[in-house]
Amino acid sequence: MAGYASAYLAGLPPMSSRSLNNVRWALKWYTDCSATIILDGKLLLQWLNGRELSPTSKQAIWDRARALYRWIGENYTNAQDLPDLQPVQFGRRKTGETRGRKRASGVRLPAVRG
């Protein structure tokens, strides 16, 4: 599994070092989960839910595992047995909401004048 993850990382488009570190972190958790490809998405979910991780961290690992499986399916001809990992919501983000820092609501407080 680590070989697929390394090849996947090498093929990613240029990104910030912070984003790349986040990808590496999520893939490390996933490759630590299993030395081979997990062919059952429910088993991966069970493993994730058994870890002491925040919902946001679980979401990041799941999303990256989905992207890795999709990449393997597109780049390897013998990948027809891979599961189609569906979107899962771990409770912190709405389905389809993008990751990133929270933005201010646009409401400005009046300046304090002495």
Nearest by Cα to 41 from 30, 52, 28: 30
Query: Residue 57 belongs to what H/E stretch?
Result: helix 55-75
Residue 88 lies in a domain: no
Query: Residue 4 belongs to what H/E stretch?
Result: helix 2-10
Query: pLDDT at position 34, please?
Result: 65
Query: pLDDT at position 106, please?
Result: 57
Residue 46 lies in a domain: yes
Residue 102 lies in a domain: no
Number of domains in the chain: 1
5: its two tokens: 């993850």
Residue 112 lies in a domain: no
Query: pLDDT at position 107, please?
Result: 57
Farthest CA pair distance, the chain: 71
**Residues 47-93 pLDDT 10s:** 888 888 888 888 888 888 888 888 888 887 776 777 778 888 877 65
Q: CB atoms < 10 A from the CB of 33, how many?
A: 16
Residue 101 lies in a domain: no
More confident residue, 101 or 18: 18
Domain that holds residue 6: 2-75
Residue 18 lies in a domain: yes
Task: Report the C-alpha gap between 17 and 21 in whole angstroms.
Answer: 6
**Residues 93-113 pLDDT 10s:** 555 556 666 555 555 556 566
